């Protein structure tokens, strides 16, 4: 059974579109609870301009505070969009630096002010600088499965970015369904093509549930050999620079599904549900995630042998 790495992105992707700013101590408590529950990595924030994304204005102080309090920096990640952001990330002590390029030229310009080609060159250079500084790096292709502005995105645009990463020695790669347009067959096809473009890469996935296919796409990625799964507590999230900002696949739903198959039974699902319910209480509304509302069910019972009745 392949290994599964759980990368919680709620404190960044989940909160970035929320208008109510979460106080730093509350974020810190949520992150520590997620880590205590057994989540492998938590994306604590992004190093972006505070006026553009006010919710992330405290990312530097938040991560420094977590590290100073004894949290292993290797279990924390942060999103970087440019060289200045990387300098801030390095100063914060975060262990994993995440950065990416959108395969949609329109989305790239709205998100970074650069077209895809320029963004690719700059992100590759920035990622190599992070590697030279001794940090772990994950690079991503955003809008890999479609764009809210442009619609379908040519697979060759995605693969060109993947090849650029491979040529630069960047082998931890995530394909992100920023607009939530992916469907399972497309997911399997694109990961198969990407694996040929970057042999030996360690693959991650990031799915939004905009049109209700998030979990199906996640399982398609699992079948494709993906090992790192990004999700958000309570199903929060959405890119503020796409046409329809919708939530990620909910972390507690992902863990619940995996545990029914006997995977990642080391994770404290009740602890994750408690965090998600705290998030719902803080924002004062119902959240997209299912399990924090319905409660979990136990592991799947193995089927009885043929001809053997079950009492």
Residue of 98, 147, 205, 239 marked active site: 239
Catalytic site residue 147? Answer: no
One-character DSSP codes across 178-198: TTS---HHHHHHHHHHHHHHS
- Taking a C-beta distance cutoff of 8 angstroms, is the pair 271, 29 a contact? no
What secondary structure, in 3-state letters, does 80-141 show? ECCHHHHHHHHHHCCCEEEEEEECCHHHHHHHHCCCHHHHHHHHHHHHHHHHHCCCEEEEEE
Task: Say if residue 110 is exposed, middle or buried (CB neighbours under 10 Å; 0-12, 13-18, 19+).
Answer: middle
- Cα Rg of the chain (Å, integer): 19
Query: What is the rounded distance in angstroms from the CA atom of residue 192 to the CA atom of residue 200?
Result: 12
Tally the residues of the chain: 311
Q: What letter would DSSP give residue 55?
A: G
**Nearest residue to 249 via CA among 229, 272, 277:** 229
Q: Annotated catalytic sites, by residue?
A: 239
């Amino acid at each position: 059974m392949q290994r599964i790495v759980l990368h919680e992105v709620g404190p960044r992707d989940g909160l970035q579109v929320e208008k109510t700013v979460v106080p730093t101590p509350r974020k810190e408590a949520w992150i520590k609870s997620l880590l205590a529950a057994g989540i492998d990595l938590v994306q604590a924030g992004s190093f972006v301009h505070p006026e553009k994304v006010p919710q992330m204005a405290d990312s530097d102080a938040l991560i420094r505070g977590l590290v100073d309090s004894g949290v292993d920096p290797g279990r924390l990640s942060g999103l970087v969009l440019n060289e200045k952001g990387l300098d801030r990330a390095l100063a914060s002590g975060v262990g994993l630096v995440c950065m990416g390029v959108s395969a949609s030229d329109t989305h790239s310009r709205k998100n970074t002010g650069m077209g895809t080609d320029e963004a690719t060159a700059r992100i590759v250079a920035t990622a190599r600088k992070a590697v030279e500084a001794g940090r772990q790096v994950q690079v991503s292709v955003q809008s890999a499965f479609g764009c809210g502005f442009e619609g379908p995105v040519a697979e060759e645009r995605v693969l060109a970015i993947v090849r650029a990463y491979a040529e630069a020695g960047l082998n931890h790669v995530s394909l992100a369904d920023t607009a939530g347009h992916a469907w399972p067959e497309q997911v399997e096809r694109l990961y198969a093509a990407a694996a040929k473009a970057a042999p030996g890469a360690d693959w991650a996935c990031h799915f939004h549930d905009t049109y209700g296919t998030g979990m199906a796409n996640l399982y398609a990625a699992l079948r494709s050999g993906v090992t790192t799964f990004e999700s958000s507590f309570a199903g929060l999230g959405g890119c503020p620079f796409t046409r329809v900002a919708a939530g990620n696949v909910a972390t507690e739903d992902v863990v619940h599904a995996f545990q029914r198959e006997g995977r990642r039974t080391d994770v404290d699902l009740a602890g994750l549900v408690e965090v998600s319910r705290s998030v719902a209480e803080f924002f004062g509304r119902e959240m997209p995630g299912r399990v924090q509302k319905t409660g979990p069910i136990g592991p799947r019972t193995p089927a009885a042998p043929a001809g053997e009745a079950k009492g």
